[in-house]
Amino acid sequence: MSDVEHDPQPSPDASARGASLDQVLQVSSRLATAMSSVIEGKQAVVRTAVTVLLAEGHLLVEDVPGVGKTLLAKTLARCIDAPVRRVQFTPDLLPSDITGVSVYNQDVRDFEFRPGAIFANVVVGDEINRASPKTQSALLESMEEGQVTVDGTTYTLPRPFIVMATQNPIEMEGTYPLPEAQRDRFMARISMGYPSPRSELEMLDLHGAGSPLDALRPVTEAATVQQMIEAVRRVHASPAVKQYIVDLVGATRSSSALRLGASPRATLHLLRASRAHAALAGRDHVLPDDVQQVTVPVLAHRLIPTGETQMARRTTADVLTDLLQRVRVPAPTR
């Protein structure tokens, strides 16, 4: 008998749109509850991870050692009854370990393709900045297009597909910082942060005798997640909201505090994340507040501050906070 809690079927008289949004709310609530049972006191982090999943994005978890980066990725993977692969990035990891390799089969006297670690619904990449740039670049095509090309043949990756990568920004010896082209393919970057004293005390009780991850059971499956993604795609974004997104991204390109603004890909990711945020709130339309809530995690890691900004000890998140206050907010419309 499966451990997955099967999702209730929508009533026949419910509209497909309404039923899909109801399903998003029900399943995402179970998903967040299950993840929060392992990741204590980090509701905002959990919500962002679920938002990226439903927005068809990839997540970069960047923070100091020991705060639960890998645990967050493994927890989300465990909550979905789907193929999951974990890759420990090291300097000797080869691109073929990620994408796969063609091997000669003497029985059939021909080459056959053996899939690499990327062929899974959820791929957990631990310490991605420890791999060589050549290996890191093996992820580029798969993250952007959901496919892998080996020896001239293109292979489609399973759906849904999400890469959750972790990296430590403090210990830089023996690491290879992610190039901008790679960072831009991650929809959002989050930091775990230290837990509150209360959450840390609860952690001692919960994790002291063993890992709660061992007792965690899937609450949904890949097919259901894909249905939720389809529902999020149908969330309406008005022309005014789309213009607001374009104005925000454009403000990063003209800001004197930034040396590099956000890319057109960032504009698209901001729209997708806003739609997912609205769906998680039970709405079938995007509000400016949805855009504001996801702007920092979606845009901050793509921006490069000027030397003056760094000297003033201001982060790209600080710059975005200022821009959010300056860019005109449209009146909420449907």
Asked if the model's pLDDT at residue 7 lies above 50, the reply is no
pLDDT digits over 119-150, tens only?
999 998 888 988 888 888 888 888 888 899 88
In the three-class reduction of DSSP (H, G, I as helix; E, B as strand; rest coil), residue 272 is classed as helix
Q: How far apart are alpha carbons 187 and 169 in whole angstroms?
A: 18
Question: Rounded to two decimals, what is the model's pTM?
Answer: 0.86
90-97: long-range pairs with CB below 8 Å, 24+: 90/130, 90/131, 91/130, 91/131, 91/132, 91/174, 93/131, 93/132, 93/135, 94/135, 95/134, 95/135, 95/137, 95/138, 96/150, 97/135
210 has pLDDT over 80: no
Q: Looking at residue 174, what is its pLDDT? A: 65
What pLDDT band is residue 208 in, cutting at 50, 70 and 90? low
Query: Quick one: tokens of 207?
Result: 């994790």
pLDDT at 54: 95
Q: What is the pLDDT of residue 55?
A: 95
- Find the mean pLDDT for residues 207-225: 82
> Cα–Cα distance between 57 and 229 in angstroms, integer?
11
Task: Write down the mean pLDDT value for the chain.
Answer: 86
Which range (238-242, 253-257, 272-276, 328-332) has the least confidence?
Answer: 328-332
- pLDDT score, position 306: 94
334/220: higher pLDDT: 220
Q: What backbone torsions phi and psi does residue 109 show, to the nearest 5 degrees?
A: 55, 45
Number of other residues whose CB lies within 10 A of the CB of residue 76: 25
Distance in angstroms (rounded) separating the CA atoms of residues 205 and 57: 34
For the stretch 34-66, pLDDT in tens is 998 888 888 889 999 999 999 999 999 988 777
Cβ-proximal residues to 95 (8 Å cutoff; 6+ apart), any chain: 134, 135, 137, 138
- pLDDT value at 3 more than 60: no
pLDDT of residue 332: 60
In this structure, what are the phi and psi dihedrals at residue 179, rounded to the nearest 5 degrees?
A: -70, 160
Query: What does the pLDDT look like over 280-317, one tens digit per residue?
Result: 999 999 999 999 999 999 999 999 999 999 999 999 99
Q: Whose structure tokens read 């982060």?
A: 315
Cα–Cα distance measured from residue 55 to residue 230, given in angstroms and rounded to the nearest whole number: 9
